[in-house]
Amino acid sequence: MNLIHDAMLVTFSLHGWSARRHDPKASQYVAVHHDAAATAGRYNKRLLPKAALAALNATQNQARKTHYTHTLPWDDAGARLLPVANYERYTHALDELIERIFTERERFLSEYDEHVERARLDLGRLFQLDDYPTREELRVRYSARYRIEPVPDSGHFLADLGAGENARVRRDIEHQVSLRLNGALGDLYRRLGEAVGHVCERLSEDQNGKPKVFRDSLIENLRELVDIVPRLNLFGDRHLEHLCEEVKHRIACVEPDVLRPTAASGKFDPAVRRRVKRDARDLAAHFAGYFGAERAMPHRAEAA
């Protein structure tokens, strides 16, 4: 793996409006009428009906989730590692979602005055017109964009410190890069392990011995994951490849209705459910072995 050529860094910025406001007077009133200290709680007003921002918030959440799904952890400043193999899939998905965010923003702003009037009725004497930004202020507040940059080479950080000091700084930087790569590889193992563990949990029975309810997304999310992991595996980790294939062919290939005793489609197959349940349990135990105190990672990722 040559990190400089095989990956890039991407930062995703997403901003909006919470549509909530702390009301000091209401907080004081509640405290006084309950003989409580003024610091015992805060009254936060919901400035608009929940449905007003539902579509816009949902699209923002999907964009944030997509960003994390298609990238790997890198640093504490917000940058994430994007393998070149996943560049087109990432940019296509984010461009589409950002466009939807702006479309939903304009739809919300076109109905903004109506939402404020409804809030006037809902809030009664708690309503304060000064709590509400103008439409133009909100248009600026709602933003979404991503920035892609190359992964810096250790040589970019080295100054004329002398040969010995340069070598020490280079070693420190390369050590930090190695730690980050191991964290990124561990993130892929964790994602697969958690997804398989969730399947294992939902295919078990409750305390009364009845099958638990699960949605189609239980399997659909797993299918998405086994599709993404190979493109994120820029380390070429063979063991991860093997586990991903095992999950794909033993669990993700099964239709949800085949596993669901209550399926109206008539596709339920108890033998397949028992087999998938057993396989999920075995694979979940396999993943759990990689995250104990003695052995956090199965392999060590090295930067070229």
Task: List pLDDT tens digits, range 176-235.
Answer: 778 888 889 999 999 999 999 999 999 999 888 899 999 999 999 999 999 999 999 998
Where does a domain end: 94, 115, 150? 150
* Between residues 163 and 35, the one the model is more confident about: 35
* Between residues 105 and 163, the one the model is more confident about: 105
Residue 89 lies in a domain: yes
pLDDT of amino acid 289? 67
pLDDT of amino acid 166? 59
Number of independent structural domains in the chain: 2
Please tell me whether residues 126 and 169 are part of one structural domain. Answer: no
Residue 98 lies in a domain: yes
What is the share, in percent, of the chain residues with pLDDT greater than 70? 88
* Between residues 262 and 66, the one the model is more confident about: 66
Please tell me whether residues 130 and 41 are part of one structural domain. Answer: yes
pLDDT of amino acid 291? 57
Please tell me whether residues 213 and 266 are part of one structural domain. Answer: yes
Residue 303 lies in a domain: no
Residue 304 lies in a domain: no
pLDDT of amino acid 164? 61
Question: Please, what is the average pLDDT of the chain?
Answer: 89
Where does a domain end: 150, 178, 195? 150
87-138 per-position pLDDT tens digit: 999 999 999 999 999 999 999 999 999 999 999 999 999 999 999 999 999 9
3-class SS string, the chain = CCHHHHEEEEEEEEECCCCEEECHHHHHHHHHHCCCCCCCCCCEEECCCHHHHHHHHHHHHHHHHHHHHCCEECCCCCCEEEEHHHHHHHHHHHHHHHHHHHHHHHHHHHCHHHHHHHHHHHHHHHCCHHHCCCHHHHHHHCEEEEEEEECCCHHHHCCCCCHHHHHHHHHHHHHHHHHHHHHHHHHHHHHHHHHHHHHHHHCCECCCCCECCCCCHHHHHHHHHHHHHHHHCCCCCHHHHHHHHHHHHHHHCCCHHHHCCCCCCCCCCHHHHHHHHHHHHHHHHHHHCCCCCCCCCCCCCCCC
pLDDT of amino acid 292? 45
Lowest model confidence (mean pLDDT) among 110-124, 241-255, 288-302: 288-302
Residue 83, pLDDT above cutoff 70: yes
Residue 295, pLDDT above cutoff 70: no
* Between residues 249 and 290, the one the model is more confident about: 249
pLDDT of amino acid 290? 64
260 band by pLDDT with thresholds 50, 70 and 90: very high
Range of the domain at 72: 3-150
